[in-house]
Chain A
């Protein structure tokens, strides 16, 4: 049986690490900025200078949430900025965010979208 895989290139993975409880706000900002989805999981993280941040090192929680957002390259910068602002990452101890390029990715793409893309390519 033949299977065709619709492979997407020009995609970027945005990874954002925040303190536990902050992820929902960041995900909402990403979706509002045009992201198609997000994946969140828990983690634990500490830093060598963490005890100097926050109030008696209590306000910087070691419990973290990690957010994955896959976005098209042309949208990634905008989503990145919105997530950065939503997570208050300009404040020390709040977390970090980074982007990494993807070689390729695959997910469900509705047939009519594939057909539209292929017909557009044939016209060129």
Chain B
């Protein structure tokens, strides 16, 4: 299972690019993020809008998709987010039937 925390509004594009390389088992949701560098005044933190993409892939594609997400979300730039990989004990691969493309 790969989780990518990235800048707001880019999650859906990452999902579309994942679909292009055959990954359908992914979802995105909104979040807010704060870093150590975020200024805190009177105990209140400044949060930035974020999105979280979670992808379940078979183990043999994990490295490839990890690197793909790193690149697609520009993780190598400051304040871009992070990507991390966890082992899933069990999972069921999602295989979509042949469906017409949505416009």
User: Which A residues form the contact surface with B (CB < 8 A)?
Assistant: 3, 5, 11, 13, 24, 27-28, 31, 35-41, 68, 70, 100-108, 110
Tell me whether B75 and A31 are in contact (CB under 8 A): no
Specify which of A31, A101, A110 lies most central, judged by the most chain B CB atoms within 10 Å of its CB.
A31
A-B contact pairs, 16 of them (CB 8 A): A13-B84, A31-B36, A31-B45, A36-B36, A37-B35, A39-B33, A39-B50, A40-B34, A41-B29, A41-B32, A68-B52, A102-B84, A104-B66, A107-B83, A108-B77, A108-B78
A40 — nearest CB in chain B belongs to which residue? B32
User: Within 8 Å CB of A102, what residues of B?
Assistant: 84-86
Interface of B is mostly: strand
User: Within 8 Å CB of A40, what residues of B?
Assistant: 31-34, 47
Q: Residues of B within 8 Å of A, CB-based: how many? A: 34
Indicate whether B30 reaches chain A with its CB closer than 8 angstroms: yes
Known contacts A27-B45, A39-B5, A39-B50; is A104 also within 8 Å of B85 by CB? Answer: yes
CB distance from A108 to the nearest CB of B (A): 5
Interface of A is mostly: strand
Indicate whether B13 reaches chain A with its CB closer than 8 angstroms: no
User: Within 8 Å CB of B3, what residues of A?
Assistant: 68
- In the assembled complex, the Cα of A115 lies from the Cα of B52 at a distance in Å of 30
Indicate whether B103 reaches chain A with its CB closer than 8 angstroms: no
Proximity string of chain B (55-75) to chain A, C-beta cutoff 8 Å, 1 when within and 0 when not? 000000000001100110001
User: Within 8 Å CB of B26, what residues of A?
Assistant: none
